[in-house]
Amino acid sequence: KFVGSNGKKYEIHANITETYPSTPPVWFADSEDTSVTNAVQILSNTSGRDNHVINQVGILLKELCRLHSVPEPEELERLALGIWSCAVPMEAPPTPPHNDDDDEEEDDAEDEEDLHLEMDDPDTASKNKGDEMGVEHLAVLERLRQTQRQDHLKGSVSGSVQATDRLMKELRDIYRSDSFKKGMYSIDLVSESLYEWNVRLMSVDPDSPLHNDLVELKEKEGNDSILLNMHFKETYPFEPPFVRVVHPIISGGYVLVGGAICMELLTKQGWSSAYTVEAVIMQIAATLVKGKARIQFGAPKVVGQGQYSLARAQQSFKSLVQIHEKNGKYFKFPINSNCVIQFCLLKASQYYFTETSSSFIYRQSILQIIIPCTSLIIHTCL
């Protein structure tokens, strides 16, 4: 929790993934303050020692203090000293005397060892460089480059140069990512298009009910992943991608009608062009767990009969954002079995409640959003 210069408190959370400390924790804050979101974004670009959570806390505090023009706390310096003191080697014990013959033998052995290391280093570096990205992923990037070149010659370029360049970089970085290589998620381009991705989340918090549901899903359907669909506009990265759940049907986890995901990060107000696609994916995985997402095993499996579709997802997300922008409301929808709903209204409204078994309806003028829930209908007249 950070307290700014005006006394406002900001709560910032970290989700430590299975690849920690090879990759940094995923940080997120329930705040629209750009100073906070920008500070949090810096933490996704660290490497090495800076991936450790204590170092990340130090980096975050320094950046927040700088952006809010407040002095750094004294504890921050002691924290840094404590980190480095752990890395200071202990004083070596005195060694017994050696005769000259032993010294010569040790020198020869050290020379041989040094020579061995010097010979191995170039090969190791070359091997690591070659293993940085799989052959199949290099082939995907090359096909995309060839397609872009041909489209440019034909004059049928889709998207924008800026969006295409950024998405190529994002895809390349993902192919090199430790999280991707360790199978936490996978990426497939829909029809070889840079502007539409299918993402499979294959790893969530093992202590969560969602993880247990995925295990059961594998037993029943042979599939243990959550399929997400990401649409990027030509205005990317200055506008967020549209992300929805495709399969399986999920309750809770801030998942709305049609599979849309209610996250401030995915709105224009909460988005930052500095966010990487991988950071978005990891944040969605953390949000599903935080919102107590559960798989609905009794839901229809046929797409036409199910709840999820692109059109319905876009409509529900658009309507929710419009209400937020028009009336100055802050919405937080954990659509779980308890139907916990928090409204912060800037103008007075009147509500009345009736029971139902199928849906939750919020009505404003002629606008109607239907969100599957358990036992509540709310009608609002403004």
Parent domain of 6? 2-87
Residues 142, 289 within the same domain: yes
Predicted pLDDT of residue 332: 44
Neighbours of 127 (CB within 10 A): 10
The structural domain count of the chain equals: 2
Residues 73 and 158 in one domain: no
Question: Does 146 fall in a domain?
Answer: yes
Task: Specify whether 153 is located in the same domain as 82.
Answer: no
Note the pLDDT tens digit of each residue in 263-312: 888 988 889 888 999 999 999 999 999 999 999 987 665 444 457 888 89
Retrieve residue 354's tokens: 């009736």
Element (H, E) at 178: helix 178-181
**Residue at 381 is within a domain:** no
Q: Is the pLDDT of residue 317 over 70?
A: yes
Q: Which pLDDT value is given to residue 306?
A: 52
What does pTM read for this prediction? 0.59
CA distance 25 to 56: 8
In a domain, 337, yes or no: no
The overall longest dimension of the chain from CA atoms, in Å, is 96
Confidence of residue 238 (pLDDT cuts 50, 70, 90): very high
Amino acid in the structure at residue 151: D
Q: Are residues 78 and 139 in the same domain?
A: no
Confidence of residue 99 (pLDDT cuts 50, 70, 90): low
Strand, helix or coil for residue 249: coil
Residues 40 and 142 placed together within one structural domain of the fold: no
Whether residue 265 sits in one domain with residue 185 = yes
Residues marked active site are found at 262
Q: Indicate if 205 and 56 belong to the same structural domain.
A: no
Closest CA to 255 of 301, 211, 294: 294
Q: How far apart are CA 368 and CA 381, in angstroms?
A: 12
Beta pairing partners, 186: 200
Which pLDDT tens digit goes with each residue over 16-48? 776 778 778 877 776 667 777 778 778 877 888
- 41 lies in some domain: yes
Mean pLDDT, the chain, integer: 73
Confidence at residue 55, expressed as pLDDT on a 0 to 100 scale: 86
For 196-237, what is each residue's pLDDT tens digit?
A: 999 999 999 999 999 999 999 999 999 999 999 999 999 999
Contacts of 32 (CB under 8 A, 6+ apart): 264, 269, 270
Do the Cβ atoms of 124 and 116 come closer than 8 Å?
A: no
Whether residue 98 has pLDDT greater than 60 = no
Cα→Cα distances 245→31, 183, 200, 284, Å: 24, 19, 10, 10
Q: Is 308 a domain residue?
A: yes
Convert the pLDDT of each residue in 125-140 to its tens digit. 444 443 578 888 999 9
Q: Are 171 and 267 members of one domain?
A: yes
| Angstrom distance (rounded) from CA 137 to CA 375 | 47
* 106 or 374, higher pLDDT: 106
- Which pLDDT does position 108 carry in this prediction? 54
Name the residue with higher pLDDT: 338 or 121. Answer: 121
